[in-house]
Amino acid sequence: MRKLKLQMQLSVDGYISGPGGEMDWMVWSWDNELKNYVNGITKSVDQILLGRKLAEEFIPHWAAKAADKEEPNAEFARKIASTPKIVFSKTLETFADKNTTVISDANPYLINQIKNQQGNDIIVYGGGSFVSSLIEQGLIDEYHLFMNPVVLGKGRPIFNSMEEQLKLQLIRAKPFACGIVVLAYRYIAGTHVR
């Protein structure tokens, strides 16, 4: 079975955005060590899952960077732009990107079908409610949580609708010079506990 990885930026108090969707608090002054960490996560990835809201910005952003000859992260941008994507949306039927398929329902059966297809790892980048539903259903195999050095006090969490405990095993905890600490966990299958 293919592994489904989550890469998500969070505040120290566990929010993925401010209450109005603000993301201006995220640290983007990544050094080469952190960029290499991300390259390591995505190296084995041959499919990306996205919710509609994030996809509308994410896909054109990386396509533009991949086409920019001056882009310092062009190799990573080309990898992201060329990787097949599935956008889950109840409102879109198609997406103006040749590498993107739109599916209306992210039910557990369908996600497990995708995970059971031939191929390498899959990565999910968001958005919030989409990721929350994958977490609740125990579908994410690895969590790569980029803890930013900020406390928001309130905002949008991804673990707020959990009705059961989620047991995780620490893979690594790594601080980076920009202040981000990456906490990587493996989901221990079958351990949802009420």
pLDDT in tens, 115-126: 999 999 999 997
The CATH class, in words, for 4-187 is: alpha beta
Helices (H), the chain: 32-42, 52-67, 74-82, 108-115, 128-136
Is residue 60 a contact partner of residue 28, using CB atoms and an 8 Å limit?
no
Flag whether pLDDT at 19 surpasses 90: yes
- In this structure, which amino acid lies at residue 88? F
- In this structure, which amino acid lies at residue 159? F
pTM: 0.92
